[in-house]
Amino acid sequence: MKILRNLSKDRLAAASFILIVVTIVAGILAPYIAPHDPNEVNMRLRFAAPSWEYLLGNDHLGRCILSRLIYGIRPSVLWVLGALFISVLIGAIAGFIAGYFRGKVDFFMMRICDIMLSFPGYVMTLAVVGILGIGLKNILIAFILMKWAWFARVIRTAVMQYVELDYVKFSKVTGMSDIQIIWKHIVPVTLSDIAVVSSGSMGSMILQISGFSFLGLGIQAPNAEWGMMLNEARQVMFSRPELMLAPGLAIIIVVSAFNFLSDALQVALDPKLIRSTNKFQKQEVETEIRGGKIHEYTRS
Amino acid sequence: MGSYMMKRILVSIPLLLIISFLTFVFMNLSPQDPAEVVLHAQGVPKITDELMTQTKAELGLDKPFIVRYFDWLVACLQLDFGNSYVTGQPVWSLIGPAFLNTLKLTVVSSVVIIILSILLGVVCALREGTIIDQSVRGFSFFLATMPPYWLASLMIWYFAVKLDLLPTNGMDSYKSYILPVAVIAINYAGIYFRVVRSSVLNHLNEDYVLYARACGVPERKITMHILRNSLQVAVSIFCMAIPIILGSTVVIENVFAWPGLGSLSVRSILSRDFPIIQAYVLILAAAFVLFNTLSDIINAAMNPKLRKGL
């Protein structure tokens, strides 16, 4: 609750949060919200300009662009969120085990992570798609395979800060089981780190996954997906450049909302940063945040 | 320094071996039988068992797994990645020139990115909090949310079609480089200039800067000192960036029809041409490891403190 209150003080972050919630709800309720069937072909309305019935106009097959955008939320945002959640979960389990038990388990797990991270992101995805065949499902599998190692690394580092603290040692002495200690004493304190890291990679994941759909390796026609819509718009780019606008802007808006939110989340979750209203300090913090992000970019 | 270099190189060799083994295993995990893929790709109308056995023997698929791995590894070290399933040409004759084209694009973009991000980073750090700093940072935040392929398409539409200044695709002259390099540079310089900026900012408050100022050293000279120290971080990040750019040009290459590795790999995935995909994954993963090693060595050369770590 306190986190939410802190977040709501930052107007930009609050707006981003509302936008993301609205997008997610719209994606879930797509059949009820979308004014038309996204795959309904109507050749008479080919390239029709926006009208009251078709608010964003129609594409090269006369399909309603707005409905396609709304249905496109499912693969472009919801499935990506799902993939992110799974990879964070796997990464968290691995990270907790490695960071808490240390020793040989830690060494072994980190070497596995090293190996996974030595395949550059795009190459790994192309490899998985090359083996399993094209399709959104396989791209998401590739992303889970590739991202969990990165999350495991970060979460392990976060866990290690707390393992040596007195209260954890005390719980050990009193005979609490390891699982209980992790669950009661370590998960709650590392949750904020996990939230920041995972929300920070959401934006780049949306961009990359829609990129693969744009290349024709992800979701297949006639399904609506933002990258796919851009791919279709590219075919008629020279005569109808305006078709690139709606899906492109949708991606930009959602990705910036996630980026703003993750920055704000970092500030809101770190008690040290809330108290400091000093502008200079705030800026310093910001560069640190960027530093963390950059590290992730160089890894992915 | 010499011993550090040796150790660092020795560490990377097992990693390379594991990567090559994983690549080999990955490719053998494919649900489809390669022999069947080859026959399909060559357009054989009816696949008989006899034909399958014959093709398997031809491709060496009837040998044990480990034997096949070592045969494959030795062949790879001699740049023999087998033949394309689709065209039957040696993979290297396809991948070699494509790799060169991608490398050209990567090197040109990297140089632009490095110059741009150092320039922007230093200017923004020295003018911290001013309009220049804030607008550059705001703009780069905005650009980072843009899908690169979307930006590329818009640029093609505007510069190549509307203004008719630059070619839309291919690599014919120096003009073909302008658009792809611009898109890649915009994409990455926005990220990397922040590294330079924050590292310069960190050094601005160091004691040696205060001391130099107190002694009356001219401001330009102080800036040079700061630059030298703060670029250490930048060097390691740029070394990491080069293989990443090498791998992530996939999208840009496809938009601009650049005859490089990215276009080739997407084409091979669509036609399920496994030897090319395998070679692509292996070459880029190896490049990644090599550049990482190189960046560690360069860092150690610049900062003796780091040499103890290993």
Written as six digits, the tokens of A243 are 């078709």
Q: Which residues partner with A64 through β-bridges?
A: A58
Q: Is A89 on the interface with B (CB under 8 A)?
A: no
pLDDT at B216 over 60: yes
d(CA B72, CA B55) in angstroms, rounded, equals 17
Cα–Cα dist B298/B236, whole Å: 8
Q: Does the beta carbon of A134 lie under 8 angstroms from any beta carbon of chain B?
A: yes
Q: Which of A119, A255, A284 sits opposite B145 (nearest CB)?
A: A255
Q: Encoding tokens for residue B76? A: 């790879």
| pLDDT, mean of residues B197-226 | 87
Phi, psi of B83 (to 5 degrees): -110, 150
Instruction: Give the count of Cβ contacts less than 8 A between chain A and B.
Output: 151
Q: From the CA of B18, how many Å to the nearest CA of chain A? A: 8
Structure tokens at B67: 């034997």
Cβ pair A225, A218 in contact under 8 A: yes
Please judge whether A291 and B197 are an interchain contact, meaning their C-beta atoms are less than 8 angstroms apart. no
Q: How many Å lie between the alpha carbon of A209 and the closest alpha carbon of chain B?
A: 10
Q: Which chain B residues touch A288 with a CB distance below 8 Å?
A: 198
Looking at per-residue confidence, does B151 or B39 come out higher? B151
Residues of chain A neighbouring B266 (CB-CB closer than 8 A): 126, 215-217
Question: How large is the angle between the packed helices B34-41 and B49-59, nearest 10 degrees?
Answer: 100
Q: Is B19 on the interface with A (CB under 8 A)?
A: yes
Q: Which residues of A touch B240 (CB under 8 A)?
A: 298
- Residue listed under structure tokens 């979460």: A155
Gap between the Cα atoms of B39 and B45, Å rounded: 9
B297: three-class secondary structure by DSSP: helix
The separation between the first and the last C-alpha atoms of chain B, rounded to the nearest angstrom, is 12
Joined tokens for residue B206: 């160091």
Alpha carbon distances (Å) from B12 to B6, B9, B74, B291: 10, 5, 18, 11
- Residues of B with CB below 8 A from A123's CB? 247, 280-281, 284-285, 288
Which B residues, 222 through 281, put their C-beta within 8 Å of a C-beta on chain A? 237, 240-241, 243-244, 246-248, 250-251, 254-255, 265-266, 268-270, 272, 274, 277, 280-281
> Domains along chain B?
91-309 (1.10.3720.10)
Contact B128/A129, CB-based, under 8 Å? no
Q: Where are the domains of chain A?
A: 67-269
Residues counted in chain B: 310
pLDDT value, residue A272: 54
The CATH H-level (homologous superfamily) assignment of domain A67-269 is MetI-like (1.10.3720.10)
- Selecting from A119, A259, A297 the residue whose C-beta is nearest the C-beta of B191 gives A297
> Would you state the pLDDT for residue A28?
92
pLDDT at B202 over 70: yes
Give the phi and the psi of residue A64 in degrees, each rounded to 5: -70, 120
pLDDT tens for chain A, residues 1 to 300? 666 676 667 788 888 889 999 999 999 998 888 888 888 787 777 777 787 777 787 887 888 888 889 999 998 899 999 999 999 999 999 999 998 888 888 888 888 888 888 777 788 888 888 888 888 898 999 899 888 998 998 898 888 888 888 888 898 899 888 888 888 888 888 888 888 888 888 988 899 888 898 888 888 878 888 988 888 888 887 788 888 888 999 999 999 999 888 888 877 776 555 444 433 334 444 444 444 444 444 433
B198 vs A230: CB contact, 8 Å cut-off? no
CA distance A124 to chain B (A): 7
A window 179-218, beta carbon within 8 A of B: 203, 207, 210-211, 214-217
Give the Cα separation of A27 and B276 in Å (integer). Answer: 38
What proportion of chain B, given as a percentage, has pLDDT over 70? 95
Contact between B288 and A130 using a beta-carbon 8 Å cutoff = no
Q: Whole-number mean pLDDT of chain B?
A: 83
Q: Are B245 and B184 in contact (CB under 8 A)?
A: yes
In this structure, what token pair is assigned to residue A63?
């399909």
- Cβ–Cβ contact B148 with A under 8 A: yes
pLDDT, residue A292, reads 44
If you measure CA to CA, which chain B residue comes closest to A259? B145
Q: Which residues lie across from B90 on neighbouring strands? A: B83
What gap in Å lies between CA B252 and CA B263, rounded to an integer? 9
Express each pLDDT in B21-74 by its tens digit: 888 887 777 666 777 777 776 667 777 778 778 877 777 777 788 888 888 888
Does pLDDT of B177 surpass 80? Answer: yes
Q: Are the beta carbons of B148 and A132 separated by less than 8 Å?
A: no
In the stretch 263-292 of chain A, residues with CB closer than 8 A to chain B read: 283-284, 287-288, 290-291
Interface residue A20 vs chain B (CB under 8 A):
no
Q: Which of A215, A284, A293 to mutate to test the interface with B (most CBs of B within 10 A)?
A: A215
